[in-house]
Structure 1
Amino acid sequence: MNNSSTPALPSFWRRIPLAFGAFFSTLSDAEYAARIVRLADAPLTPTPAAAPVAAAPAPTPAPAPAPAPAPAPAPAPAPLRDTAPDAALQLLTLFQREARLIDFTQENLSAYSDADIGAAARVVHEGCSKVLREHFTIEAVRSEAEGSRIVLEEGFDAGAVRLTGNVVGKAPFRGALSHRGWRASSVRLPKLADAHDASVLAPAEVEL
């Protein structure tokens, strides 16, 4: 179907009667003849060109998928402090001098009776207690009596209180105090001379 507004051109056989009719009408009708003259003198109107068909717009590319978020960096490990070994060596020296602790732990006890071991353990216990009393102030971490029920609120010091048993969920935790813990509130180790070799825990003895 032609939807254009331009009228269809008449065929050859249709133009024959039109030509004869126009010929006789021009001879007999002055006004008709004038219209023919005006039509002949009018400039030809060019047939309007068909409007160009607009090109189909290029398909819009699909947006690129958003990049996956980078994983959060792992927390940096807590820095570790270097500890001077001299203090630990000095403490071993004190335990050996007052309680013969190193002698006791280095001895093969399988050849001794339980009574002999018990007597030696009493000497070690008394000597170690003396060292701790003289060079440290030791206090309990928790003031409650062992066996009492306590509540650990959120933010409790995990370095001072260790959870045991069925540890599930998060604070607050409720449980029984099985051990009060210990902390050293002060340390009083003797000073060492610069030339002192702290690695010698007990000098060898030579009897003359």
Structure 2
Amino acid sequence: MFSVTHRYEIARAAKMVEAAYLLFKRRPPRTSLDASVKDKLNKNHVQAVFLKQNILLIPGSNSVADYMKFNLRVLNFGGKKYRLNDELTDKWGAHDVIWHQGFMRHAKVIADWMQQKRYRPKYIVGHSLGAAATQILVRTHNVPGIAFAAPRVTRGVVQPAPASKCLCLNRNDDKVCDLPSSFQHLGEVHAGEGQRRFLRFDHQMDRYQEMVTAQQLAGHLGTHWPA
């Protein structure tokens, strides 16, 4: 059983992670998160926000183009760049889970930062590349979380119990959620449809907010996670 303090509104989580993007603009506007921010990480193209409520927010990329052209290609750890490649895997965390190497390295930057600051998240929310990190950190920290526009992060494992704490919310028209093709998501996956735009992949966080609203109104998605 999950503690009620670890249960969160899905629609609110979507609004928070969208607001997290604004905090990293050169001249950040005022956001609904301002009074809640405890600390921010902005290092080596890895961004995260830790709230006073011990909620970790991980923004990623707000477009398919940015994701495909830049996200993993600009991540440079120890002089090595990581690409969206099905052959690059690594092990980290309990039970030697096999992770996509680029996603794992991204998540580890956040994990190391939290360890250094002695932050312990009670809930994790991420989008896009941040959704990849969310799946990994939910597993390693054994806390619930929501991954919006979640790519696939692991391969060749039977998902252990903590994986069930992660909800991957994906749009059917978002191709990022199918990558890398030989990997799988970690946790429960809910694939839904929102209002479609002609010849466009709807990867942006605001489009995921619309999808959450549509799915909840249709009775296909609950209001909270864990349910």
Question: TM-score surpassing 0.5?
Answer: no
TM-score (norm 2): 0.18
Higher-strand-fraction structure:
2
Provide TM-score, normalisation by structure 1.
Answer: 0.19
